[in-house]
């Protein structure tokens, strides 16, 4: 359960969601199963196991809330790596109102990147998990890739599963963000550690943050927002968003000792560009 514990410094995981998450992971009945009617009109008090429906019903408010947990985690990770990033003013398609989730820029000399997050339901069987994240990845490519290419953006699908596995492209995206964060760390506070170790630590941290956000998103979908509101937890997002960071911290203050609140565009270079080979050196 590394993904559940390692990210606690970045996200508050409500205690009420813990039992729900572990029930799902263990395959037992949800101890706090939502009752009444789903937002789509389906009744939950017929004695059936509604786990799959709760995770998949896009008409449920908890469906988007769980998705937003991952979006906020990814955006916050980009901000801590010094990437100009937004989740509110993401450019739509030129010919429709379809839009991605996160817009950031790795280099002023290249196209900006637009990321769209999806979480698909899977079991712990490796083949099932791979099929689920592959389907989510391909669905996002069909939806956005050509449209955003025509608009001058690089589209990056970020496909994860309810068992906290990620598609290779999502892993690669985190690896690039981790490398950028490591460059900022050694530039602000030089370290005696090899750069590869600094990158490794940053990568581990980002995977823990994203893993925790996936777990929280799963638990929120399983529990339902009505139950969460009744328990007094935030109805949607429990993460600090980019705007929260800007309000709470002087994010352009390069004198800050906490690299998690340092962001800007001064540490750019071709080695950080998304389409550049990761092994090209610092």
What are the 10-residue block averages of pLDDT along the chain, 282 residues in total? 41 71 77 76 70 83 90 93 90 90 86 93 86 94 93 94 92 94 90 91 93 90 70 45 45 36 30 34 34
147: part of which helix (H) or strand (E)?
helix 146-150
- Determine the pLDDT at residue 234: 46
In contact, 73 and 172? CB cutoff 8 Å: no
Give dist(CA 228, CA 245) in Å, integer: 25
Give dist(CA 179, CA 183) in Å, integer: 6
- Determine the pLDDT at residue 25: 78
- Determine the pLDDT at residue 11: 52
Q: Smallest Cα–Cα separation from 67: which of 155, 135, 160?
A: 160
- The pTM for the full model equals 0.74
- Determine the pLDDT at residue 49: 63
- Determine the pLDDT at residue 57: 85
Q: Smallest Cα–Cα separation from 158: which of 72, 260, 282, 61?
A: 72
């Amino acid at each position: 359960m590394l993904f559940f514990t390692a990210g606690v410094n970045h996200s508050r995981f409500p205690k009420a969601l813990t039992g729900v998450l572990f029930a799902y992971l263990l395959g037992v009945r949800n101890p706090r199963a939502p009752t009444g009617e789903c937002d789509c009109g389906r009744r939950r008090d017929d004695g059936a196991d509604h786990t799959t429906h709760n995770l998949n019903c896009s008409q449920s408010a908890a469906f988007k809330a769980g998705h937003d947990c991952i979006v906020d985690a990814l955006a916050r990770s980009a901000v801590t790596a010094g990437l100009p990033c937004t989740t509110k003013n993401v450019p739509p398609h030129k010919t429709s109102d379809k839009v991605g989730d996160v817009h950031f820029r790795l280099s002023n000399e290249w196209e900006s990147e637009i990321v769209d997050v999806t979480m698909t339901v899977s079991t712990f069987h490796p083949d099932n998990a791979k099929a689920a994240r592959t389907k989510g990845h391909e669905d996002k490519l069909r939806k956005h890739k050509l449209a955003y290419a025509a608009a001058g953006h690089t589209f990056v699908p970020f496909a994860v599963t309810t068992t906290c596995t990620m598609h290779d492209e999502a892993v690669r995206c985190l690896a690039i963000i981790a490398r950028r964060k490591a460059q900022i760390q050694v530039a602000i506070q030089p370290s005696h550690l090899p750069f590869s170790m600094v990158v490794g630590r940053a990568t581990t941290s980002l995977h823990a943050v994203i893993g925790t956000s996936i777990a929280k998103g799963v638990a929120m979908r399983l529990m339902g927002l009505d139950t969460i509101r009744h328990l007094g937890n935030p109805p949607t997002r429990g993460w600090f968003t980019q705007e929260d960071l800007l309000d709470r911290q002087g994010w352009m203050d390069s004198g800050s000792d906490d690299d998690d609140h340092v962001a800007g565009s001064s540490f750019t270079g071709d080695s950080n560009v998304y389409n550049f080979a990761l092994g090209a050196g610092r």
